[in-house]
Structure 1
Amino acid sequence: MSLSTATGRIQSTLRSFLDSEASGGLVLMATAALALAVANSPLADAYFHTLDLHVGPLSVLHWINDALMAVFFLLVGLEIKREMLDGQLSTWSRRILPGAAAAGGMLAPALIYVAFNLSNSTGLRGWAIPTATDIAFALGVLSLFGNRVPASLKIFLAALAIIDDLGAVLVIAIFYTGNLHLLALAGATVTLAILFTMNRMGVTRLSAYVVLGVALWALVFASGIHATLAGVMLALAIPIKTTPGAPEASDEDSLLHRLEHLLHRPVAFLIVPLFGFANAGVSLAGTSLSTLVDPHTLGVAAGLSLGKLVGVLAVIAILVKLRLAQLPATANWTQMTGIALLCGIGFTMSLFIGMLAFDDPAVQNKVKIGILLGSALSGFAGSAVLLACKRKSPRRGA
C-alpha cells in the first residue's frame, strides 16, 4: 500500500468518525432534553417506573448501563487502539499536545471538585465526575460552526477526547471497582488470554470474538469489576491487521476497522442516546437554591465549566511557550479557548462515573444537575467564543 493511499484512508476514516460522532452528538442533545422534559411532566412516574422494571436479573436501567454501554466501551477501546497504532495518535509528536491537554483537563476539574467537598468524605468519591469530556456532544456542538473552525481543531478535540476516554477507563477500573470475586476474575482472565491467543493465531472470524466477548462480559460482571470494562478488554484483543504474523500495523479490511465501522452508527444513534435518555432525566421538583449550592452540584459544575478551561488551556500555553508543541494548523488562541471550554461538556462519561460513585438517588440527582449545568455553561461559553472568531475566508478560485 502506497503512503498516499494509506494517508487517504486514514483521513477518510477520521472524517467518517468525526461526522458520525458530531451527528450522534446532536441526537444526544435532543434525547437529553427530552429526558429532562419527561422527568418533569405527567409522564414522570411511568418514566422512572419503566427504568426500575426488572427484565431477568437486572432492571431496565442496569441493562442499559451495564450491558449496552459495554458496546459503547468496546467502540471506545477500538478507537483508542486504532488511533494509537494507525491514526492521529500513532507517534509521540502527535500525542504530546492532546495527551498533555487531556491530562491537564482531568487534573484541574478533579482538584476543583475536591476543593468544594473537602469537608465531605463521602462526597469525595465523586472527584472523577468532572474529569471526562463527551466526545460526541462536544463534536456535535463544534459541527454547528462549519468553516469557522479549522479541521485541525476538530481533529485535536477528537484526539484529546479519545485520550480523555482512556483516562476515564483507567479511573473506573482502579477507583470504582467493588469487592472482587476471584473465581469469576480468574475465568475472565482465562477468556481474555484465549482472545489474545486467537489474535496472535490470525483468527479473524467476528462470531468467535463475539461469543467469547459475551462470556467475558458475564465473567467481568460477576467478578466485581464494572462489566462495561469488558468492552475495552475485548477491543484490545481485536486484530488490527489482516495478515497473520505480520507486524502490528493496520489494514483497512482488518477486523478492527470492520467492527468499528459496524458499531459507529448503532452506538452514536441508538446506544448513547438511549443511555442519555435513561440517565439525564432528573426531577427538578423540590429543587431549591440549597441544591444548586450543594458541594456535589457546585463541585461538578465548576469542575466542568472552569476546571476544563483552566487545565486544558494552561497546559497548551506552557507547551507552546516552551516550544515543545505548536498550536494545531491555522488555529489561534481564541479558537483554542473555545475548544478548551467545549471540553467541559462531560455528559455521557460524567453521568456514567456519577452513577458508579454514588448509590444515593438524592446525591445522584445533585450530580446530574451539576453535570447538566456545567456542560450547558461550557457549551454556551465555548460557542460564544467560537462565534466571536472571524469566519474563515474561502480561497480564491475555489
Structure 2
Amino acid sequence: MSHAQSHPSAIRRFLEAQSSAGLVLMAAAVVALIIANSPLGPGYAAMLHAYVGPLSLEHWINDGLMAVFFLLVGLEIKREVVDGQLSTWPRRVLPGIAAAGGMIVPALIYLAFNAGPTAAGWAIPAATDIAFALGVIALLGNRVPASLRVFLAALAIIDDLGAVLIIALFYTADLSLPALAGAGAALAVLIGFNLFKVRRLSPYLLVGIVLWVLVLRSGIHATLAGVMLAFTIPMERTPGRSDHACVSPLHRLEHALHLPVSFLIVPVFGLANAAVPVLGLPPSALVAPVTLGVAAGLLLGKVGGVFGFASIAVRLGLADRPAHAGRLQMLGVALLCGIGFTMSIFITLLAFPSSPLLQAEAKIGVLAGSLISGLLGYFTLRWAKRDSGGNVR
C-alpha cells in the first residue's frame, strides 16, 4: 500500500471523516444570511467593518485567517503532487484544464448578458469558493471517491489562483513594487530553507508571516501568501515507509492545522462572508442583466466549462479521469464549482466600487447561482453513488 493511501492527509481526513465540520460551515452561512436580513443586520455589518489594529475584522478574516486555510490546501496539493493522487502528469493536467474552462466559459456567459459599464463584472462568476465547495463534499462523507475530492481541491486552488491573477491584472488599481520585491525576497528565503533542507517549521512560519504582510501591502490578495508558503515546506517522497511521513515538516504542519481550520477558521469565514442583505431591493434587481449574468455564469458556465473541458481532455487522451469516478460524479463536482460566494463577492466590490445597486445585483446573482449549483451538485453526487456505487459510465 502506498504512503498516500495508508496515511491520509489532513484535508483528506477532513473531507472523509469530518462531515460535522461541513455542517458547521453550512449552519454558519445560514445564520449569517438570517442576521444580515434582520434588524441586527446594520450592527453586524458595522462590527465586521470595525478596525482591529491596521485592518477591519472582515479583512482579518478574509486576508488573515483564510491565508491559513489556503496554507492547508496548498500543503495538500503539494503532498498529492509529490507522493499521491496528482503524482503523474496526466492527473496534474486535468484539474488545470478544467479550471481554465471554469474561468473562460462563465466569463463569456456573463458578457452575453452585459455590455458597456456592467461588462466590468465579467470575472465575478469565474471563481469557485473552495471553502463552501469542500464543505458540501464533506457533507457527502465517503460517497465521493477520494481521487475526486483531490481533483476538486486541486481544481479549486488553481481556480482561485487564476482569480487572484485576474484581480492583479484587471482589478488592482495600485500595485506596490517595493512590497512585491520584498515578497519575492521572502519567497526566495523560503526556497533557500528548502534547498538547504531546513526541517524545523519555525523558520518557515516566521518568514511566512513576513511574506503575508508584504503580499497584503503589495495590493495582491493576501491568501496567495499561504499557497506560496505551503509549496516551500519540505516533503520527501516516501515509497512504502510511513516513519518518514511522521517526521515530515509538511505532514506535521498539516496535522497541526486540521482541527482549527475545520472547526474555527472555515465557520468564521462563512459567518463573515455569507452576511449579504438581499431584502429591500427593487424587484427589477432580481432580473437585471448583472444578476442574470452572474447567476447563469456560475450555474451554467461553471458546469459547462469544468465538465466540458475535462471531458474533452479525457476523450483526447490529454488526461486521466480521477480513479473510480464516473461521468455523473464528475458532473456533480462541476456543479459544485458553481459555488462562488467569497471570491465572487470580493471581485464584485472591485468591479463596481461606486455603485451599491450593481453590487447588490451581483451579490443576488452570486447567492442564487451558488445556492442552486450547490444543491444540484450535492444531490447529483448522492444519486450517482446510489445508482452505481461510484462507477457511472
- Within 5 Å, give how 1:72-151 maps onto structure 2: 72-120=69-117, 123-145=118-140, 149-151=144-146
- Within 5 Å, give how 1:230-269 maps onto structure 2: 230-241=225-236, 251-269=245-263
Q: For structure 1, which segment, 182-191 or 328-337, has the greater mean C-alpha deviation from structure 2 after superposition?
A: 328-337
Contact 1:21 1:136 in 2 (8 A): no
CA-CA distance at 1:327 after TM superposition: 4.2
Contact 1:117 1:124 in 2 (8 A): yes
CA-CA distance at 1:108 after TM superposition: 0.9
C-alpha change, 1:11 and 1:232, in structure 2 (3 Å) is: closer
How far apart, in 1, do the equivalents of 2:177 and 2:314 lie?
47
Amino acid at match of 2:369: G
Correspondent of 1:29 among 18, 26, 33: 26
Contact 1:192 1:216 in 2 (8 A): yes
How far apart, in 1, do the equivalents of 2:159 and 2:268 lie?
22
Contact 1:25 1:138 in 2 (8 A): no
How far apart, in 1, do the equivalents of 2:119 and 2:201 lie?
42
Identify unmatched segments of 5+ residues in structure 1: 244-249
C-alpha change, 1:323 and 1:69, in structure 2 (3 Å) is: closer
C-alpha change, 1:254 and 1:365, in structure 2 (3 Å) is: farther
How far apart, in 1, do the equivalents of 2:226 and 2:314 lie?
36
Are positions 1:181 and 2:176 aligned together?
yes
Q: What TM-score do the two structures reach when normalised by structure 1?
A: 0.84
C-alpha change, 1:384 and 1:37, in structure 2 (3 Å) is: same
Amino acid at match of 1:372: L
CA-CA distance at 1:306 after TM superposition: 0.6
Q: For structure 1, which segment, 309-318 or 5-14, has the greater mean C-alpha deviation from structure 2 after superposition?
A: 5-14
Instruction: Give the structure 2 partner of residue 302 of structure 1.
Output: 296
Aligned residues: 383
Are positions 1:317 and 2:311 aligned together?
yes
Instruction: Give the structure 2 partner of residue 368 of structure 1.
Output: 363
CA-CA distance at 1:73 after TM superposition: 2.7
How far apart, in 2, do the equivalents of 1:146 and 1:190 lie?
41
Contact 2:129 2:342 in 1 (8 A): yes
Amino acid at match of 1:119: G
Contact 2:36 2:276 in 1 (8 A): yes
Contact 1:241 1:255 in 2 (8 A): no
Correspondent of 1:161 among 151, 156, 164: 156
How far apart, in 2, do the equivalents of 1:107 and 1:37 lie?
33
How far apart, in 1, do the equivalents of 2:185 and 2:312 lie?
45
Amino acid at match of 2:370: S
CA-CA distance at 1:199 after TM superposition: 1.9
C-alpha change, 1:260 and 1:14, in structure 2 (3 Å) is: closer
Instruction: Give the structure 1 partner of residue 338 of structure 2.
Output: 344
Identify unmatched segments of 5+ residues in structure 2: 239-243
Instruction: Give the structure 2 partner of residue 8 of structure 1.
Output: 5
Correspondent of 1:56 among 53, 57, 68: 53
Identity of aligned residues (%): 62
Instruction: Give the structure 2 partner of residue 246 of structure 1.
Output: none
Amino acid at match of 2:235: I
CA-CA distance at 1:220 after TM superposition: 2.4
Amino acid at match of 1:213: G
How much is the aligned-residue C-alpha RMSD, in angstroms? 3.0
How far apart, in 2, do the equivalents of 1:178 and 1:78 lie?
31
